[in-house]
């Protein structure tokens, strides 16, 4: 690999990186801090602690993949970079869960949209969870700092047709729309963010904070799964971890024991509550795993008269917040409108069907446009979120019931998305729903949506935004960590990832995670070095 | 393959249950599938991964080593894929067989990364569909999969797609999703979705594609 690649160069220069699949002996290592998970939260934490002179060990169950592995190929990427080989779903199978499992976590495969936490959300947290010092004013410098670190800026290049159709439809209907800020540097506008950036343009954890931490003597073990945090009296004494075998999925039998003064869990929503549950960490009010949110996503697809080529170009560059907070923070479910990239494998997996109809739909891919709606969950009593529990084998699983409140929002979203696509000139529109036909006019679509079954399994739902499960708050009776990510009961344990959010964000979450992790890590570094 | 006594004992056991209401609850469904896979396993169905198949056993003569799919599962997909992709498959018989075989290999390779929990769910689903008693009662497919016509395979998929029982919809989604991703995501099928592949200018410029 060319030595312009940040990872190849670092490995050459002697970074302390261990591929745990190659380990043959049980072993023990020690550091000031163990960071579990290398995604948005873990990478940020490791870099800040290491730069403050603390010794850090990063633990990642996925593998280290970088430019040499990013070949714009769906099959290899889904198999290697995603949780459960892209087959993760909610417990009943009704919601597909997209989540990363590799160094850099979900930031290695995400679509680079970078939003600050909406002011309405921060204010709601202050009012409802006692998180006063997370006000928009207090957080602004942290967002700014992370925007610089990850090179976040509104996308300057014209949107691809897929995104532009969302803009055109909104414009026709008088709905607001805006350009998405992205975390990229020298982006080639290719469209392959979801399978690992082939050009190193994406400024996710893999290209920024992980190298930053490794340059400052942090050690990285990849292919190593955190199994159990083991307590000694009221503190965590060590982490027990399993090396993965050659397949990267099943443990080899080699265990690694990691001792430290402090432990930061950053295995994300689902992973972090899973680890705490497996470890029997004190949880007097049974809060771990509760209030898990996912921005439930539904979608419509349109056939356009012009070519869309939805597989090319920055995947997300236009959004509409017209309906996000329109009815108040805790009114009927609001949603953010965006566009997904459509590559053939992913599209065929997402658009339900088989036989000639499916074959025709796939043949129309170059003319296909899609809009997605991200439901803002967690702000209303009838949106209490889901629950993470452990399966028999100790792996975490999310149960997420869809309430009537959410079905109502999802139906409104179908209506809005179809209306926008017709307004932008679609020749026909269908819902990503088991019972949907193609509709050739807005009137026909509206009538169909008003009578179609809003039921699990029939409505195809997705999430790429898992949040909550170790929620933060002032009150230990209703939360797991405080507003600094510090565990209420265990003094040398922090949680720095998407699992701490007490509701969903109401925007794509990566920048919220980067900023909060940076703020909390700065405080942790000060504590540990004083 | 089918042990009649296992099927019969299964019959009395299941006959006592109101099948529809039982299947409606997720838990019932899971328990049910668990029972089926145990029964199927005990009855001696092919539960071991098929490994490397040779030309005598199958249409597929390749060097691929199956790590999850059993011979029964492979027969299931050989029957289902023509219903899913028929008109999109090549007409020439040998090319057609190779396209089906390649897709089944990619299905197997994909499942290998699903991890133990999801593999177990799929094992239950495949057992339910390949075990004679449940194939007939639950899927309403009367013959063994190698003898199922494309029309009947399509009717089965359609029943599960339109069923009012979530568990069947879920089974439909699982079967079509893994097949669709394996099929349309493969280089050989890109042309079917008008996908030209990664932009050539980028491939030419990027170091990871340079074979030194
Ligand atoms: C396809 C896709 C597109 C997305 N697009 C966007 C977008 O455009 N904008 C945006 O803001 N967000 C997007 N997201 C979401 C965003 O990337 C995530 O919200 C964010 O990365 C979560 O950060 P995190 O630190 O909580 O977890 P992650 O970044 O997911 O990192 C967690 C890491 O922990 C590891 N882990 C889990 N359990 C263990 C264990 N037991 N032991 C060791 N390691 C473990 C995981 O393998 C993973 O690597 C997208 C996500 C996906 C999947």
> Which pLDDT band, with edges at 50, 70 and 90, does B17 fall under?
very low
Could you tell me which of B115, B140, B121 has the C-alpha nearest to residue B129? B140
Least confident among A60-74, A192-206, B20-34: B20-34
Residue A217 in this model has a pLDDT that exceeds 60:
yes
What average pLDDT score do residues B42-55 get? Answer: 62
Chain A contact probe: residue of B173, B186, B196 with most A CBs at under 10 A: B173
For chain B, say whether A279 makes contact (Cβ under 8 Å).
no
Residue B44 in this model has a pLDDT that exceeds 60:
no
Residue A444 is given by DSSP the state H
The residues in A 39-78 lying below 8 A from B, measured between CB atoms, are: 67-72, 74-75, 78
* Of residues A86, A91, A363, nearest to B194 (C-beta): A363
Q: What pLDDT, on the 0 to 100 scale, is given for residue A93?
A: 94
Percent of chain A with pLDDT over 90: 99
State whether the beta carbon of A117 lies less than 6 angstroms from ligand 1: no
> What value does the mean pLDDT of chain B take?
81
Distance from the CA of B124 to the center of ligand 1, in angstroms? 30
Contact at CB, B170 and A93, closer than 8 angstroms = yes
Calpha distance A87→A17 (Å, rounded): 29
What average pLDDT score do residues B114-125 get? Answer: 94
For residue B44, what are its two tokens? 């001696």
Q: What pLDDT, on the 0 to 100 scale, is given for residue A384?
A: 97
User: Least CA distance to B173: which residue of chain A?
Assistant: A352
Could you tell me which of A297, A300, A295 has the C-alpha nearest to residue A417? A300
Which positions in chain B touch A359 (Cβ < 8 Å)? 85, 87-88, 192
pLDDT digits (tens, 9 = 90+) for A302-325: 999 999 999 999 999 999 999 999
> Which pLDDT band, with edges at 50, 70 and 90, does B37 fall under?
low
State whether the beta carbon of A396 lies less than 6 angstroms from ligand 1: no
User: Least CA distance to A248: which residue of chain B?
Assistant: B113
Least confident among A290-294, A492-496, B10-14: B10-14
What phi and psi values does residue A366 have, to the nearest 5 degrees? -60, -20
Residue B51 in this model has a pLDDT that exceeds 80:
no
Q: What pLDDT, on the 0 to 100 scale, is given for residue B200?
A: 97
- Specify which residues A113 forms β-bridges with: A182
Distance from CA of A37 to the nearest CA of B (A): 18
Distance from CA of B188 to the nearest CA of A (A): 12
Distance from the CA of A321 to the center of ligand 1, in angstroms? 23
Q: What pLDDT, on the 0 to 100 scale, is given for residue A329?
A: 95
Ligand 1: which of A74, A268, A390, A481 to mutate, judged by most atoms within 8 Å of the beta carbon? Answer: A268
User: Least CA distance to B165: which residue of chain A?
Assistant: A457
CA distances from B45 to A134, B58, B71, B107 (A): 59, 17, 9, 21
> Which pLDDT band, with edges at 50, 70 and 90, does A3 fall under?
low
pLDDT digits (tens, 9 = 90+) for A258-289: 999 999 999 999 999 999 999 999 999 999 99
Write the CB contacts of A328 (distance below 8 Å, at least 6 apart in sequence): none
Write the CB contacts of A175 (distance below 8 Å, at least 6 apart in sequence): A169, A320, A322, A323, A420
Q: What pLDDT, on the 0 to 100 scale, is given for residue A498?
A: 98
Q: What is the ipTM of this complex?
A: 0.94
What average pLDDT score do residues A54-81 get? Answer: 98
Could you tell me which of B31, B30, B34, B35 has the C-alpha nearest to residue B10? B35
pLDDT digits (tens, 9 = 90+) for A398-457: 999 999 999 999 999 999 999 999 999 999 999 999 999 999 999 999 999 999 999 999
User: Least CA distance to B192: which residue of chain A?
Assistant: A363
Helix H or strand E segment including A237: strand A235-244
Contact at CB, A85 and B111, closer than 8 angstroms = yes
Which positions in chain B touch A5 (Cβ < 8 Å)? 207
> What value does the mean pLDDT of chain A take?
97
Cα dihedral A274→A278→A279→A285 (10° resolution): 70
Q: What pLDDT, on the 0 to 100 scale, is given for residue B20?
A: 40
How many other C-beta atoms are found inside a 10 Å radius of the C-beta of residue A208? 24
Q: What pLDDT, on the 0 to 100 scale, is given for residue B72?
A: 95
Could you tell me which of A111, A262, A93, A118 has the C-alpha nearest to residue A193? A111
Distance from CA of A36 to the nearest CA of B (A): 20
> Which pLDDT band, with edges at 50, 70 and 90, does B63 fall under?
confident
Q: What pLDDT, on the 0 to 100 scale, is given for residue B52?
A: 73
What average pLDDT score do residues A495-506 get? Answer: 98
State whether the beta carbon of A34 lies less than 6 angstroms from ligand 1: no
Ligand 1: which of A85, A87, A110, A227 to mutate, judged by most atoms within 8 Å of the beta carbon? Answer: A110
Q: What pLDDT, on the 0 to 100 scale, is given for residue B15?
A: 37
The residues in A 204-223 lying below 8 A from B, measured between CB atoms, are: none
Q: Are A345 and B181 in contact (CB under 8 A)?
A: yes
Atom of ligand 1 nearest to the CA of A224: 43
pLDDT digits (tens, 9 = 90+) for A163-183: 999 999 999 999 999 999 999
> Which residue, by CA, sits nearest to atom 9 of ligand 1?
A113
Q: What pLDDT, on the 0 to 100 scale, is given for residue A2?
A: 55
Distance from the CA of B116 to the center of ligand 1, in angstroms? 21
For chain B, say whether A397 makes contact (Cβ under 8 Å).
yes
User: Least CA distance to B202: which residue of chain A?
Assistant: A190
> Which pLDDT band, with edges at 50, 70 and 90, does B47 fall under?
low
What average pLDDT score do residues A464-493 get? Answer: 98
State whether the beta carbon of A109 lies less than 6 angstroms from ligand 1: yes
State whether the beta carbon of A107 lies less than 6 angstroms from ligand 1: yes
Residue B5 in this model has a pLDDT that exceeds 50:
no
């Amino acid at each position: 690999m060319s030595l312009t690649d940040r990872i190849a160069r670092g490995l050459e220069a002697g970074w302390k990186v261990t591929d745990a699949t190659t380990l043959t002996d049980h072993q023990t290592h020690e550091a000031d801090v163990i960071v579990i998970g290398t995604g948005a939260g873990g990478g940020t934490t490791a870099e800040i602690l290491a730069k403050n002179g603390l010794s850090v060990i990063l633990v990642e169950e996925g593998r280290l993949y970088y430019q040499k592995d990013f070949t714009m190929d769906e099959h290899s990427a889904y198999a290697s970079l995603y949780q459960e080989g892209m087959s993760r779903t909610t417990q009943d199978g009704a919601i597909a869960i997209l989540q990363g499992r590799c160094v850099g976590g979900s930031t290695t495969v995400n679509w680079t949209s970078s939003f600050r936490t909406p002011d309405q959300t921060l204010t709601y947290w202050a009012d409802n969870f006692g998180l006063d010092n997370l006000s928009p004013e207090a957080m602004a410098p942290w967002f700014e700092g992370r925007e610089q670190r990850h090179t976040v800026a509104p996308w300057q290049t014209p949107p691809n047709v897929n995104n532009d159709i969302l803009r055109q439809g909104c414009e026709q209907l008088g709905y607001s729309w805006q350009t998405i800020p992205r975390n990229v540097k020298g982006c080639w506008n290719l469209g392959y963010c979801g399978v690992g950036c082939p050009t190193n343009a994406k400024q996710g954890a893999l290209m920024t904070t992980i190298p930053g931490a490794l340059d400052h003597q942090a050690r990285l073990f990849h292919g190593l799964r955190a199994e159990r945090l083991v307590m000694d009296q009221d503190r965590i004494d060590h982490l027990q971890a399993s090396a993965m075998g050659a397949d990267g999925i099943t443990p080899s039998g080699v265990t690694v024991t990691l001792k430290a003064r402090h432990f930061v869990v950053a295995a994300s929503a689902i992973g972090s509550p899973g680890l705490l549950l497996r470890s029997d960490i004190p949880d007097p009010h049974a809060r771990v795993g509760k209030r898990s949110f996912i921005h439930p996503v539904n979608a419509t697809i349109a056939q356009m008269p012009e070519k869309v080529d939805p597989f090319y170009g920055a995947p997300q560059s236009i959004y509409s917040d017209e309906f996000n907070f329109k009815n108040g923070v805790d009114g009927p479910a609001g949603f953010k409108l965006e566009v997904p990239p459509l590559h053939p494998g992913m599209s065929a997996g997402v658009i339900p069907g088989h036989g000639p109809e499916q074959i025709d739909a796939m043949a129309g891919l170059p003319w296909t446009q899609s809009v997605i709606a991200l439901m803002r969950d967690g702000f209303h009593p009838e949106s209490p979120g889901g629950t993470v529990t452990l399966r028999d084998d100790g792996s975490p699983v999310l149960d997420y019931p869809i309430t009537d409140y959410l079905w109502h929002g999802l139906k409104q979203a179908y209506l809005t998305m179809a209306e926008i696509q017709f307004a932008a000139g679609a020749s026909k529109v269908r819902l990503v729903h088991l019972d949907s036909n193609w509709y050739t006019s807005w009137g026909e679509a509206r009538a169909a949506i008003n009578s179609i079954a809003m039921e699990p399994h029939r409505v195809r739902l997705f999430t790429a935004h898992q949040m909550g499960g170790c929620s933060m708050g002032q009150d230990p009776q209703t939360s797991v960590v405080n507003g600094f990510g510090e565990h209420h009961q265990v003094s040398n344990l922090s949680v720095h990832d998407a699992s701490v959010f007490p509701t969903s964000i109401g925007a794509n979450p990566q920048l919220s995670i980067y900023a909060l992790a940076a703020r909390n890590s700065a405080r942790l570094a000060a504590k540990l070095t004083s | 393959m089918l042990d009649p006594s296992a099927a019969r004992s299964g019959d009395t056991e299941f006959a006592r249950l109101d099948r529809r209401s039982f299947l409606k609850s997720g838990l019932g469904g899971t328990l049910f599938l668990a029972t089926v896979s145990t029964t199927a396993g005990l009855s001696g169905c092919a539960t071991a991964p098929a490994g490397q198949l040779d030309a005598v056993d199958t249409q597929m003569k390749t060097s691929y080593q199956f790590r999850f799919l059993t011979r029964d599962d492979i027969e299931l997909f050989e029957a289902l894929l023509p219903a899913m992709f028929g008109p999109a498959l090549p007409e020439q018989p040998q090319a057609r067989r190779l396209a089906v075989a390649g897709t089944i290999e990619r299905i197997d390779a994909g499942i290998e990364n699903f991890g133990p929990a999801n593999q177990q769910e799929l094992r239950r689903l495949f057992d339910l569909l390949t075990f004679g008693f449940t194939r007939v009662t639950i899927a309403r497919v009367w013959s063994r999969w190698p003898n199922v016509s494309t029309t009947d395979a399509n009717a089965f998929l359609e029943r599960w797609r339109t069923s009012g029982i979530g568990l069947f919809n879920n089974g439909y989604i699982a079967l079509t999703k893994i097949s669709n991703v394996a099929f349309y995501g493969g280089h050989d099928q890109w042309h079917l979705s008008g996908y030209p592949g990664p932009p050539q200018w980028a491939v030419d410029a990027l170091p990871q594609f340079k074979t030194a």
